[in-house]
Structures are given as structure tokens and as C-alpha cells.
Amino acid sequence: MHPAVHTGSSVGWIILFIVGAIPCLYWLRALRLARDSARLFLLNLLKAGTVFAFSMAVLTRTPLPPSQRYLLSGILALVCFKNWRWKAKAQRSRHIPKSVRQAVIERDLKGERFDPQRHHIDHVWPYAKGGSHTTDNLRVIEKRKNLQKGAARPRMREMW
């Protein structure tokens, strides 16, 4: 029987896991905050995949070589995907439902009165970057701070 040989430190793997897990957690949180946009993206991707498969089925009956069939089907799917994506963006509304707005104000101000001169309802993940109008993506912050922030993506420490 040969004794088991230990060829490395598990500390290195733990550090690698932690360094890799933090960005993954950030992007998972970002995906949750922008879930409406992610849902539309996946739906449009599914539609484009269907267009690709259908066009490949139709083009198999033509005398085109396979490389040209793939190219034509891919271009058609890409054009459809881009077209659906722009239509979906145009349908989004900037209106925050009253019940969501009230819930955010009650949660963040804890009984203090909301003053539109001092406060803004802010998206943690910016609306311009696909952020949703949900209570976990909205917060009440000072007007000045919100105007300085603009549509910048939040840093790691601002996500939680």
C-alpha cells in the first residue's frame, strides 16, 4: 500500500473559489434586479433560435451548400432578434406602480415623510441598463446623490 500523496494546498483552491464567487454573486444579483430585461432577452433568443431552425429546415430543400445555409439562417435569426429587442425596449414604461412606490418609501424612510424636494426613488440597477420596478431594485436616496449617480452600474458594495 502506498500512502496518499498530498500534492497541493487546499488554501489556494479556497482563495480561487472566493475570488471567483464574488463576481458571480454580483452578476446573479444584477440579473435578479434586471429580471424583466433578462426575461425579454431570453424570450427573444428563443424566438431567434426558432427562426434559425425553421429557416434551416426550409433551406435544406435548396441546392445551397451547408455553410451558406448556416450563414443565411444565422443572418435571418440575428435580424429578427435585433428587431424584437428594439420593440421590447420601446414597450417598457418608466411608471413605477403606486403600491411599489409606497412600499419602498415605507421600507426606507421608516415613518419619515417623503419630500420630493429632498428625496428621489432610485433604481439600484439603473432603469436605462434594464433595471426593473420591483421593491428589491428601488430605494429612496437623496436627490443630490441620485443626480450625481446617473445611470452608472452599482459597485459591488452598493448591491447589498
Ranges of the chain with pLDDT below 70: 1-9, 85-91, 158-160
For the chain, domain boundaries: 38-91, 98-158
Q: Which residues contact 131 (CB under 8 A, 6 or more apart)?
A: 33, 34, 37, 123, 124, 125, 137
**3-class SS of residue 126:** coil
The pTM for the full model equals: 0.59
- Report d(CA 67, CA 64) in Å as an integer: 8
* pLDDT tens digits along 114-136: 999 999 999 988 888 888 888 98
What string of DSSP letters covers 41-100?
A: HHHHHHHHHHHHHHHHHHHTTSS--HHHHHHHHHHHHHHHHHHHHHHHHHH---PPPHHH
